[in-house]
Structure 1
Amino acid sequence: IGCFRLGLVATIKDRANEIYKKVEDQKPLRGRNQDAILAACLYIACRQEDKPRTVKEICSVANGATKKEIGRAKEYIVKQLEVEMGQSMEMGTIHAGDFLRRFCSHLGMSNQTVKAAQEAVQKSEELDIRRSPISIAAAVIYIITQLSDDKKLLKDISLATGVAEGTIRNSYKDLHPHASKLVPSWYAKEEDLKNLCSP
């Protein structure tokens, strides 16, 4: 049901089951929260299949397992799989663009606004912004919606993305100086960018 609620394809469910079968008999996992183990397998499967979900999104279908428990189970499972394979495990790099469309959809943004946000996120990859891709996606949404008629509140963006308001603010601070490079010129003029609230 978790896969269904997260809009995931059957191959991810199969891979998550495969990972679970490999680790379910491991002694150190006994006594751990089973929901956290299952959730961690799902998180890893999503990453491997290039359909990443945030730990927070996985949490929402994890029957009460906490982020911390899922995080710990994930680290242990990755270590176990690496020992078994005799090499480090490839989980695929995550990019802000992997999450953006879904976040925009949760916020009910218009097609034009989504298109502008996607272009901005692509340009953000050229900058040396040391923030998580999820925080960058959230900050880009904030910038783009501030320049639209349908402004989104920080708290709504925080709810839709699972990124804390303070974290979005800090990422916004980092992105703000580059707004003219990030925001597509067809979407907003230089003049409009001056109206962006200062970080």
Structure 2
Amino acid sequence: MSSSDRALINAFREISNMADKINLPKTIVDRANLLFKQVHDGKNLKGRSNDAISSASLYIACRQEGVPRTFKEICAVSKISKKEIGRCFKLILKALETQVDLITTGDFMSRFCSNLGLPTFAQKAATHIARKAVDLDIVPGRSPISVAAAAIYMASQASDDKRTQKDIGDIAGVADVTIRQSYKLMYPHAKELFPDDFKFTTPIELLPPL
């Protein structure tokens, strides 16, 4: 077997193993395999490890198939650092002249909320808060993941099911300070952000200012 074929087989095995660990469907594995093969055949990313290319290919495949995962989630099942996956991600997009849809806050909301054990009404409120914050341009330049995390924090603090910034940060893969920065921008507009039918346990004026 040529070293090229061996590299492909090893990469496909690695992609499949990573996908299994986070329950990704075969369609995503197939797309990630195809991306890896295109990069490999084109010899576009010389000097980058195959593991890094495999991880980045899986990340891109998730986005293209409409079930995005965060860099942290891919990093958790990979041997590669978040930074290196991010670097390879950019290089692959450039090399293949492909693109991925922009991520929105809604892409992560249900998974983050269910991992935090939040009830449906809190998830609905958080989704509404995040969408409104983006529509009103309250959080310019903030990443969708940090906006989603800050919206979950705001909705949970107003309900019975309170979660700390650390709890949410651990699930979302962002630092507490990142959540705080988005929350700080959203807090002065809290009245406009909540859905009209939200049942407050903690009124807006008693929400933590930070």
1:67 aligns with 2:76: no
2:19 maps to what in 1?
Answer: 3
What is residue 177 of structure 1 aligned with on the other side? 188
Stretch deviating more after TM superposition (125-134 or 157-166): 125-134
Task: State the alpha-carbon separation in 1 of the partners of residues 100 and 45 from structure 2.
Answer: 21
Equivalent residues of 1:33, 1:69 under 8 A apart = no
SS of aligned partner of 1:39: helix
Give the structure-2-normalised TM-score.
Answer: 0.85
Q: How does 1:87-102 map to 2 (within 5 A)?
A: 89-102=98-111
Local SS of the residue matching 1:125: helix
Q: Measure the CA separation in 2 of the matches of 1:27 and 1:186.
A: 56
- 8 Å CA contact 2:146, 2:182 repeated in 1: yes
Instruction: Give the superposition deviation at 1:104.
Output: 0.6
TM-score where L is the length of structure 1: 0.89
Question: Which residue of 1 is the match for residue 121 of structure 2?
Answer: 112
1:17-36 equivalence runs, <5 A: 17-27=33-43, 29-36=45-52
1:55 is aligned to 2:71 = yes
Q: Is the 8 A contact 1:158 1:165 kept in 2?
A: yes
User: More deviation in 146-155 or 2-11?
Assistant: 2-11
Code of the aligned partner of 1:100: M
Where structure 1 has 5 or more consecutive residues not aligned to the other structure, the ranges are: 83-88
Residue by residue over 1:25-57, the C-alpha shift from the partner in whole angstroms, topping out at 9 and shown as x without a partner, is 444634422221101001111111121111111
Instruction: Give the Cα–Cα distance (whole angstroms) in 2 for the partners of residues 177 and 134 of structure 1.
Output: 20
Q: Does 1:122 align with 2:151?
A: no
The answer to whether residue 146 in structure 2 is matched with residue 135 in structure 1 is: yes
In 2, the alpha carbon distance for the partners of 1:109 and 1:140 equals 13
Q: Conserved in 1, the CA contact under 8 Å of 2:44 and 2:95? A: no
For this pair of structures, how many residues does the alignment match?
Answer: 192
CA distance in 2, matches of 1:48, 1:28: 20
Shift of residue 6, structure 1, vs aligned partner: 2.4
Partner Cα separation in structure 2 for residue 44 and residue 142 of structure 1:
28
Task: Tell me the distance in 2 between the aligned counterparts of 1:14 and 1:164.
Answer: 32
In structure 2, the partner of 1:42 is 58
8 Å contact 1:145–1:152 — kept in the other structure? Answer: yes
Q: 1:147 Cα deviation (Å)?
A: 0.7
Give the gaps of 5 or more residues in structure 2.
Answer: 1-16
Percentage of pairs with the same residue: 49
**CA RMSD between the two structures:** 1.8
Spell out, residue by residue over 1:78-103, the C-alpha distance to the aligned partner (whole angstroms, 9 max, x if none).
11101xxxxxx231111011011111
Match of 2:9 in 1: none
1:29 aligns to what SS in structure 2? coil
